[in-house]
Every structure is written in C-alpha cells, then in structure tokens.
Amino acid sequence: MALNSEIIRYEEVNERSGDELDHNWRQSPPQTAHDWEAYKMANVFDDGTQTYFWRAHTLTVLFLMTCALIYVAIFEPISDDTNYNIKRGIIACALTFILVGVTQIPDGPFRRPHPALWRFVFSVSVVYELALIFILFQTPNDARKFLKHIDPNLGKPLEERDYGGNCKLYDPDASDPFHNIWDKFDVFIPSHFFGWWLKTIIIRDWWLCTVNSVMFELLEYTLEHQLPNFSECWWDHWILDALLCNGLGIYCGMKTLTYLSMKPYNWRGLWDIPTYRGKLKRIVAQFGPHGWIQFDWRPTSSLDRWISVLLIAFVTLVAELNTFYLKFVLWLEPPHYLNMVRLVLLLFVGAVCLRETFQYLDDPDTKKFGRQSWVILTIVTTEFLIIAKFDWNTITKPVPRHMIWFWVGGAVLLLVWTIWNFFLRRVTKILYKNTDSDELAKSGNNGKSVAKPEVTIKQSLGQSNGSIGSTIGAKHNKTSNQLNSKKKK
C-alpha cells in the first residue's frame, strides 16, 4: 500500500483591480497545507499476518494483572516496613494506570513502531503530571526528601558551575593556551547537538527552530543573574552553542526531513517479501514513520495562525527554561538520569503534541484540541508553578535594565509589525483597490460613471480574513456583471 504524502501548494489570492464582488458568492473550501482527506482514507494495511501484532490484547493484560494482584494479596509475605509498602503501592497504582492507558486509550496520530508505544507515552505523561501536582502541594524541603526515595544521593545543595569568567580564546599564560575552550566541553555539547537534531525532526521547520535557538541564547543572557549556569562567554553562546551545536543539529535535522519527505512508503506484509534481506529491511522500517506529513506552519497567512506559532515558540522556550530551573530548585545534578528521563519523555510527547497541533490548525474538520497537546501544556504550566513556589526569590530577581529595554523594544516591534501586516496593510490594499476601480470605471465608459457595488473596509476585511480558526483565505468567484463595452460610433 503506497502512502506518499501529497502536499498541496497554496497560492495567495490574486485580486485584480476593478473586479466587482458577486453578492451571491460562496465561500470556497479552505485551502490546507496537507491533503487531510487522503490521509484519513489511508488506513494501516493489515494483510492478515499482522493481526495478532496489532491487537491491544486487553483480556491477556487483564488476566496477567489480576494474577499479579492475587499473588500480592494471598501468597506474598506481608512486610511491616511502612516506607516499603507505600513505595510499592504508589508504583502499583502508576503501573495499573499505564496498563489501562495502553490497552484502552484510543490510538494517536502515530502508528510506528506500534500504536501501543504512543499510548504508553501518553499514559506516562499523565503519570508525570500527577507526580508534578503531588510535588506542587509539598514544601521545598519535603519535595527534595521525596526525591530521596528515588535516589538516596539526591536532596543535597548543588554547586552551580559558572561558564563565564575568563573568556579568552587563547591564553598564552597557561600551560594549555586553549584551556578555556576545552573547559566548556561537557555533557551539554552532545545534548545540544542531538537535542536540536531531534527537535528539528519534531518541529519540521527551519525558521521556527532557528528562532527558538537564538531566542534561548538571548534568554540565557537575560537570566544569567538568576542562574550561574546561564553565565557563559560570548563565543560559548553564539559560536559553540548557537552556530556549531544548535546550527549543525538543525542542519542534520533538515537533511533528515528531506530524506523522510522524499522517501516512498510502500508497505507489504512480512511474509509476502521473498528475500531475507527484504524481510530485514521491513523489520527495520517498522521503527520509522508509516507516512510523512510536511509541516507548513504558514505563520504570516492569517492572524490566528501567527498567534498560534508565537504560542508554540513561547511554550517551547518555557519548557527549555524549566529544565534548568527545576534542576536548581529540586537540587538535581545535570548528569542525573532523572533529567535525561524527563528530556526523553518530552521529546516523545512533543512529537505527538506538534503533530496534533498542526492538524488542529490546518485541518478544518479537526475541531478538538489534541489530548497529548493538552497534557503537555499542563506539564509545562505545573513545572513553572513548582519553580515559582519553591524559589520565588530567584525568579523575581530584577532583570538588568539594558535587557528590559531590549525585550520591550522587541515586543514593540513585534506588535507594530503584527498590526501593520494583518490590519493596516490590508486596509491600504483595499483603499488602493477601490481607487483603482474608480479610475477603471471612468476610463471604460468615456468619463461616464457607472454604479459599482459599495464595499466597505469592514466588509472586505471580514471576507478576506474570515472567522478566526476557520479559513486561511478564500477565493471569490468572478463577478457575473462585467463593465459595459464602449458604445459603437
């Protein structure tokens, strides 16, 4: 079964001067970046050899879970250790919820390597949110003690590393003149590179990834007075991080996107493939995408799409900042495995979230916000609330005045451009169109004015913009009333 993604290229409406509006015009179907009707018709092909593999096996899971509970209740020796029983009870509750989610929750947008994996990711994200809510209701000390139940080595104050200080690229007075450069190479170097590689595959847009990368470096400049970890040399910010690690990761991500978008997706049953090499390639392909949808975010196509893309960038930056602030308030060492588990979980969750968000913005038939997107918004919000509650003094340290003016200036420019692009520029085009229409009418009738439909700015804006979230643009039917031809002598 071939599932080549078909991308519909959109074109801006070419409004010709002098065209009159048909009062009986009908709104054309909304133009989308992806052919969603073809996508919905392309279901996963099951040739009969994958039936057992694709089942949820709800009764099997129920039987095994019941056997485990019977063993604990009847056959296992009773322990008088309260802490041990509490830990096991909490773990059993979490596992039960995850099993229910894996077997009962509807499938999400991703199908490979198996829909159960993505149901598992959703269930784990809900469990993580529940754990965050539990931590939110604790005091800072109790929350750190709670983490000691996971790792006894936790709960100790951290010594934040300052990456600034001596910023000389070449230090002739030291035994190793390049020691400042080598000191900056730590676990964050590969995490920057591979992180942005994967984030580019998730976001699927070079501009959005680059803007997020640069914005985060600016946020580090802004907040270095709060977290010493943000204090870096200028070349560490812009050369090592933004240009080399982040830039190279984004480049590799874009190359991966190009390969995935051009690759044909032809699926056959494993037992229908004659050669062992073909079977092996089919097994490996099971861990890749089932089909491919290129994200065309089109941020400047409409005001609602522009605001949506800004919110996506904002939530992404807040999630990145939460990584560093959570380590600071909960006393987690950067190399600790809990940090890595959280980042991996957010990568999986973020992939589903952005896929759901893109379809919500682009598909006119999708009226409900995605459940994974809903959960990740609650996760990011709860993480920020934990940071604000546990260390309010840190996050409220006054921002340097020059950075305040920088962000105020950027916000003003962003607001001015938004007003100009989505309001004033449209009004200017409408006024110019009406003026041009008057001149055309006069010249076409030898100076005699003809009646033309009165189109107010408000009506034209309403017809071009449409309702928020409904259409990105609509092509008007050409008018049935044409200008009278010149009178014959």
CA atoms within 13 A on the CB side of 38: 14
Question: pLDDT (tens digit, 9 = 90+) per residue, 378-405?
Answer: 999 999 999 999 999 999 999 999 999 9
Which of the pair, 255 or 261, is modelled with greater confidence? Answer: 255
Mean pLDDT of 291-319: 94
Mean pLDDT of 203-232: 93
How far is the C-alpha of 240 from the C-alpha of 244, rounded, in Å? 5
Burial group, residue 35, by CB count within 10 angstroms (0-12, 13-18, 19+): middle
Q: Above 60 in pLDDT, residue 18?
A: no
- Find the range with the poorest average confidence among 64-78, 290-304, 430-444, 464-478: 464-478
Q: Above 70 in pLDDT, residue 75?
A: yes
How far is the C-alpha of 297 from the C-alpha of 306, rounded, in Å? 9
Q: Above 60 in pLDDT, residue 294?
A: yes
Q: Above 50 in pLDDT, residue 488?
A: no
CA distances from 351 to 204, 314, 359 (A): 10, 16, 13
Residue 264's pLDDT band, with cuts at 50, 70 and 90, is confident
- Find the range with the poorest average confidence among 78-92, 187-201, 281-295, 413-427: 281-295
Tokens at residue 296, please? Answer: 């065309």
Q: Above 70 in pLDDT, residue 446?
A: no
364 backbone dihedrals φ, ψ, rounded to 5°: -65, -20
Q: Above 80 in pLDDT, residue 485?
A: no
CA distances from 152 to 20, 155, 160, 293, 325 (A): 76, 8, 20, 45, 21
DSSP letters of 172-223?
A: TTSSSTTHHHHHT-STHHHHHHHHHHHHHHHH--HHHHHHHHHHHHHHHHHH
187 backbone dihedrals φ, ψ, rounded to 5°: -65, -20
Report the Cα 239 to chain-centroid distance in Å: 25
What is the reported pLDDT for 72?
93
Q: Above 70 in pLDDT, residue 219?
A: yes
pTM over 0.75: yes
- Find the range with the poorest average confidence among 31-45, 52-66, 117-131, 281-295: 31-45
Q: Above 80 in pLDDT, residue 107?
A: yes
How far is the C-alpha of 455 from the C-alpha of 16, rounded, in Å? 15
Under 8 Å CB-to-CB from 319, ≥6 apart: which residues? 346, 350, 376, 380, 383
- Find the range with the poorest average confidence among 368-372, 424-428, 482-486: 482-486
Mean pLDDT of 335-345: 93
Which candidate, 107, 32, 117, 110, places its Cα nearest to that of 366?
32
Which candidate, 344, 339, 313, places its Cα nearest to that of 212?
313
Which stretch of DSSP H or E encloses residue 433? helix 425-444
How far is the C-alpha of 99 from the C-alpha of 435, rounded, in Å? 67
Instruction: Look at the alpha carbons of 326, 328, 334, 338 in this order and tell me if their dihedral is positive or negative.
Output: negative
Under 8 Å CB-to-CB from 94, ≥6 apart: which residues? 127
What is the reported pLDDT for 421?
92
Report the Cα 413 to chain-centroid distance in Å: 25
Q: Above 80 in pLDDT, residue 187?
A: no
The fraction of the chain above a pLDDT of 70, given in percent, is: 77
CA atoms within 13 A on the CB side of 403: 12
Residue in this structure with the two tokens 């977290």, named with its chain if needed: 227
Q: Are 371 and 122 spatial neighbours (Cβ–Cβ below 8 Å)? A: yes
Which candidate, 64, 53, 60, 41, places its Cα nearest to that of 115?
53
Q: Are 450 and 440 spatial neighbours (Cβ–Cβ below 8 Å)? A: no
What is the reported pLDDT for 305?
94
What is the reported pLDDT for 182?
76
Going by the DSSP 8-state scheme, the letter that residue 244 receives in this structure is I
Mean pLDDT of 194-207: 95
For the chain, the structural domain boundaries read: 36-399, 413-465
Most confident option among 34-38, 149-153, 237-241, 406-410: 406-410
